[in-house]
Amino acid sequence: MSNETGLAFGALEMRAHAMADPDIPDRISLRDHLTEVEIGAFQVERGTTQRLRFDVVVEVSPAPEPLDDDVDRILSYDTLTEAIAHELAAERLNLLETLAERVAERILHEPQAMRVFVRIEKLDRGPGALGVEIMRKRAGDIDLADDTPLHPLIAYLDNSALHSNKLCDWIDTFTAQDAPAIICVGLPDDAPLQTGHGPTQRRIDLLEIEQNAWLLASKDDRCVVIDSRTELDWAMKQGNLSVWAPSKIVLDAVDGPPAVADGLALAHWLAEQMDAARLVVVGKGGFDPAKPEDFA
């Protein structure tokens, strides 16, 4: 732990003595914030929750005008708890380091936040608290344009579409849209292996769907198979076409789909997660790319 990090989380008296400087910025803090969440890289940590404790300290820029006891002129404490809740709800994570980075990044998007200290501890993995502490600071002015939400087109291709001689025409239509496109596929026609065991069957079905995704990628070089939300977001910002490999996002979801064997239902779930502009279905009786009204 660096000296500055230690001072950030240390007693107020220690910090006041060590940092007796009129230019030291004001700070707001969140201490001993407890929550239960599923997190961890080990298989034993899947399917169960454990307690996390958060401590967050934020250095804030001086108010440009008198506060006048107006809550809208300060960095609210709710911002800190909301940043934690948002990142915990976004997806299941393996590492505390990743969670700490994301919480810090979200807080630093607030105009008043100059520097943030985040400490996260696991309370149920041993006789003591196991944790990580980081310090991050604003690199410069935040480019809010980077956070403009994108609303993709989600296209579900059934197996007849995958093997159709119109496939390239449909892909042409997807790439010509104003919105970035994500293609979803379902299970292959051949019945997948049946285990009779829910958790293992879920993984097998997801792997079967991913085989279909790679089959699509083999048919058109524009179809790039992607398995993480971070990569999907990046591909959308670049205007690239993506083919969704669902295992990682589904298994890491805090509130995942109830079943994965229905590829179309899975595509609907992704559309909700991505706040999609629209979802189209291509296959038997599917749309004709020459008829835009079928695509709307």
pLDDT in tens, 32-61: 999 999 998 888 888 899 999 999 999 998
Predicted pLDDT at 71: 59
Residues 84, 54 contacting (CB under 8 angstroms):
yes
The pLDDT, as a whole number, for residue 23 is: 66
The SS3 of residue 50 is: strand
Task: Give the per-residue pLDDT at 211.
Answer: 95
Work out the angle between the directed axes of helices 77-90 and 96-108 (0-180°, nearest 10): 130
Mean pLDDT of 83-101: 92
Question: Quick one: pLDDT at residue 295?
Answer: 39
Give the pLDDT confidence score for residue 145 in this predicted structure: 46
- With b for 16 or more beta-carbon neighbours within 10 A and e for fewer, the 233-242 pattern comes to eebbeeebbb
pLDDT at residue number 35: 95
Supply the pLDDT for residue 291. 43
Average pLDDT value for residue range 149-175: 92
Q: What percent of the chain has pLDDT over 90?
A: 51
Q: What is the pLDDT of residue 18?
A: 52
* Residue 270 confidence (pLDDT): 94
224: number of Cβ within 10 Å: 14
Position 220 scores a pLDDT of 94
Domains of the chain (ranges, CATH numbers): 3-146 (3.30.1130.10), 149-295 (3.40.1160.10)
- In this structure, are residues 130 and 250 in contact, taking their beta carbons and an 8 Å threshold? no
Look up residue 247 and give its two tokens.
């295992």
Confidence check: pLDDT of 13 > 90: no
Amino acid at 138: R
For the stretch 213-264, pLDDT in tens is 999 999 999 999 999 888 898 889 888 999 999 999 998 888 888 888 999 9
Q: What is the pLDDT of residue 136?
A: 92
Q: Specify the pLDDT at position 141.
A: 54
Q: Is the pLDDT of residue 289 over 60?
A: no
What pLDDT is stored for residue 150 in this prediction?
A: 84
> Phi and psi for 125 in degrees, rounded to 5?
-105, 5
Q: What is the mean pLDDT of residues 117-132?
A: 90
Split at pLDDT 50, 70, 90, the class of 265 is: very high
> Is the Cβ–Cβ distance between 107 and 56 less than 8 Å?
yes
Tell me which amino acid residue 272 is.
E
Three-class secondary structure of residue 244 per DSSP? strand
pLDDT for the residue numbered 8: 61
At residue 50, the pLDDT reads: 94
Report residue 292's pLDDT band, with 50, 70 and 90 as the boundaries: very low
| pLDDT digits 0-9 by tens, 185-223 | 999 998 678 898 888 899 999 999 999 999 999 999 999
In this prediction, residues 120-147 reach a mean pLDDT of 79
Flag whether pLDDT at 128 surpasses 90.
no
The Cα–Cα gap between 156 and 146 comes to 28
